[in-house]
Structure 1
Amino acid sequence: MIKAVTNTPLQLPPHSNGYELCLAELLQYKNQSVKWLPPARSVWAQLNGQHQSRQKGRGMNFTEVRPYQAGDDIRAIDWRVTARTGKTHTKLFSEEREQPVMLLIDFSQSMRFGSQLLLKSVQAAHFASLLSWLAVQQQDRIGALVYNGYKLNECRPTARQQGPLAVINAMINMHQSDSQTSADDGLTFADVLRHMHHLCPKGSDIIILSDFYALQASDKKRLSQLRSHNRLQFVHLYDPLELGETGFRGREFVTDSQQSAWIHFGAQRTREQMAQQFSRHLQNLTALASSLAIPFHTVSAGIPLLKQIGSTQAPHPTPEPSVQNKM
């Protein structure tokens, strides 16, 4: 079920019409990102309705080997160099300050849907913009792979504001392009994951924003490979109509580009069947995430993003069994 955040009519985010993307609506998240910088509560903690630290563990990069000096940590002694030279040498390390953050943004056909406020693809772009600005505010590099069902647009990890601007430009261009294609010409989700595996540096934070309808059980192996060398998170985008939640009670002709049908939304059985189908999809998805220890988050396209993040009771479907969202 959905937890209601507000009973008042919801307005579109600034500069947004709900179905297209423009520069102004995505740039606004630059000023919003400061709200979730440490030690503040993180974006993920707000979505989960619980306090969690956003601070990532930093590694140490090897810098050089030099002769041992009094006070050096004996655990850092380089025994190979010491044995070769006959003199004690120690390793020096520097803190890893930049962390690659890679976004996989799904703009495929199933994401081009919205019944109340925004298309799921538009909401995904809003969240991707916020995450991009937040990454560079934390001195990380941001990159992305934007996918519309038949082609990819890649942005390699870049620091400072050039990173978010490149991601925003790629999203706008990809969202404007025609995603209508035949099944034979399209890219599978497995193709996209394979490309991400080759594109992103090891040790990256990988965040997948999608409704995951194209994800297959056979993709678990590729996800496991990504998970073994990187930190991986799922952000599931959904629309309230997928849960059968709508005030419309008439008949409507609907299509998903592969099948078409007249649906009577006034019939309670129809709405219940929609909710059951969505629940099965969500349970399969959360079970996959749980089996791979991938944090799982949900974002509704029917509520402005900042209203969901700003609430301690962020709206989310709650299937059984539920997945604990932990960083």
Structure 2
Amino acid sequence: MSKEQNWLGLLQTDGITLSVPELLRYRQLTHLINLQPGKPHRAAMSGTYLSKHKGRGMEFDEARHYQPGDDIRAIDWRVTARTGKTHTKVYREERERPVFILCDLTGSMQFGTQLLLKSVQAAHVTSLIAWSAAQRGDKVGALLFSDTEHRECKPLSRQRAVLTICHELIRLQAHATRGNDQASAPASFLDACARARRLARPGSLVYVISDFTHMNDTARQHITHLARHSEVKALSITDPIEHALPQVSGTRQVSVTDGFIRQSWVLGDKQQQTQYRQQREQQIGNIEHQLQLAGVRLQHLSAAMPIDEQLKLQGNRTK
């Protein structure tokens, strides 16, 4: 049995469609992802995250010298008595940070050559993030979209919110694999970015999960606006063939199609392999540049390996 077959069995998937058991699996893997705040919160609501803004919260932060204007109720009498100088207690406010997920299931995501379709991997990542948010007690919402449909899942707390997202992922993926309208995909991606500006509350942690094939200046403007008021993380799902052509012995001519356009490639031709790799590197570089302008860092994930295996490897590299 091949490594890919073993992985498919472990993931409880055929790599093309989605099911409840394969998305429920990520409820046990929430430790693999860190949803801790990466920058100061901008939300005004109270909640369970420690803000980097200091104020009248519940979590003690430090004792410092009393300054004019400080609340006398916060004077730390023990430190004052010990040092002979008036000190006041400073607290950190607890604030809520909803998690919002933008998941791309358009035609370009309905592609895979080794293990999973990119859309299936995107759904797995969405499930992992959603279960992790629920486990932490965060509210979690999502905007799931294909070429022809958008499904809004309002931010809610507890397990029910995650199950709603999982069921919508399964339904949307089932419709998407029956056929897609790639001509409408760029508009669908742009519309999703615009909707996310309206749906994601200020101070949210926003994940954008896509291959970013349809990233353009207008979409970047929407993401830039999101990043001004929330922490935005971009996860790019790619397939190995989108980075380099397969290695073969000798040369071999193959016909490839995306369902609309048919091309002829020569595998094993070093010049064509180099040209293809350079073109792909340029496209990926352009996407990274667009997101960098928006103030968002891009993280790459492959559809050719289980997400938990990749996160373990990435975690080991950063230790």
TM-score class normalised by the smaller sequence = 0.7 to 0.9
Residue 266 (structure 1) shift: 3.1
Preserved contact between residue 188 and residue 214 of structure 1 (Cα < 8 Å)? no
Kindly tell me: are residues 70 and 183 of structure 1, through their superposed partners in 2, closer, same or farther at Cα, counting changes over 3 Å? Answer: same
- Which digits, 9 at most, give the CA deviation of each residue in 1:218-253, with x for residues without a partner? 322212111111111110111101112424564333
Q: Which amino acid aligns with 2:210?
A: S
Alpha-carbon separation, structure 2, partners of 1:117 and 1:267: 25
User: Residue type matched to 1:199 in 2?
Assistant: L
Counterpart of 2:210?
A: 210
Quick check: 2:147–2:185 contact (8 Å CA) kept in 1?
A: no
2:281 aligned to which of 279, 282, 303? 279
Structure 2 residue 18 is the aligned partner of structure 1 residue 21: yes
Q: C-alpha distance in 2, partners of 1:155/1:171?
A: 11
| Greater gyration radius | 2
Aligned to 1:88: none
Match of 1:256 among 255, 258, 264: 258
Alignment of 1:181-220 (within 5 A): 181=181, 183=183, 187-220=187-220
The alignment's TM-score, normalised by the length of structure 1, stands at 0.74
Q: Is 1:60–1:95's contact at 8 Å kept on the other side of the alignment?
A: no
Q: In the alignment, residue 16 of structure 1 is paired with which amino acid?
A: T
1:301 to 300, 303, 314: 303
Summarize the Cα distance change of 1:69–1:173 in structure 2 as closer, same or farther, 3 Å threshold. same
Q: CA deviation at 1:125?
A: 0.8
TM-fit CA distance, 1:70: 5.7
Shift of 1:14: 2.3
Amino acid at match of 2:181: T
CA contact (8 A) 2:103 2:210 kept: yes
Give the whole-Å Cα distance in 2 for the aligned partners of 1:109 and 1:115.
15
Q: Per chain length, whose mean CA-contact separation is higher, i.e. which structure has more relative contact order (CA < 8 Å, sep 6+)?
A: 1
Which residue in 1 is equivalent to 2:133? 135
How do 1:224-263 residues align onto structure 2 when only pairs under 5 Å count?
Answer: 224-247=224-247, 250-263=252-265
Find the aligned partners of 1:243 and 1:314 in 2 and give their Cα distance: 24
Checking the alignment, whether the CA contact within 8 Å between 2:32 and 2:311 is kept in structure 1 is no
For the structure 1 residues 182 and 292, does the alpha-carbon distance in structure 2 shift closer, same or farther, using more than 3 Å as the test?
closer
Distance 1:9 1:189, change over 3 A: same
Listed as ranges, the matches of 1:81-230 within 5 Å are: 95-96=94-95, 98-178=96-176, 179-181=179-181, 183=183, 187-230=187-230
* In structure 2, C-alpha distance between the alignment counterparts of 1:302 and 1:69, rounded to whole Å: 57
**Given the superposition, is the C-alpha separation of residues 116 and 35 from structure 1 closer, same or farther in structure 2, using an over 3 Å criterion?**
closer
Q: Which moved more, 1:305-314 or 1:207-216?
A: 305-314
Secondary structure of the residue aligned to 2:11 is coil
Give the whole-Å Cα distance in 2 for the aligned partners of 1:294 and 1:55.
12
Query: How far apart, CA to CA, are the structure 2 residues paired with 1:72 and 1:247?
Result: 68
Q: What is the alpha-carbon distance in structure 2 between the residues aligned to residue 185 and residue 15 of structure 1?
A: 29
Gap runs ≥5 in structure 2: 48-69, 76-91
- 1:288 aligns with 290
Q: Conserved in 1, the CA contact under 8 Å of 2:204 and 2:231?
A: yes
Give me the whole-angstrom Cα distance separating, in 2, the residues matched to 1:195 and 1:301: 26
Q: Which structure shows the bigger proportion of residues in helix conformation?
A: 2
With normalisation by structure 2, the TM-score equals: 0.76
- Matched residue pairs, number? 273
Q: Per the alignment, in what secondary structure is the counterpart of residue 71 of structure 1?
A: helix
Contact 1:100/1:141 (<8 A) preserved:
yes
* Alignment gaps of 5+ in structure 1: 1-7, 37-41, 44-52, 74-92, 316-324
Could you tell me which amino acid in structure 1 is paired with residue 19 of structure 2? Answer: C
Shift of 1:57: 5.1
What CA deviation, in whole Å up to 9, does each residue of 1:196-225 have, x standing for no partner? 111222211111110000111232221211
| Structure 1, 241-250 or 210-219: larger mean CA deviation | 241-250
Letter in 1 for 2:222: R
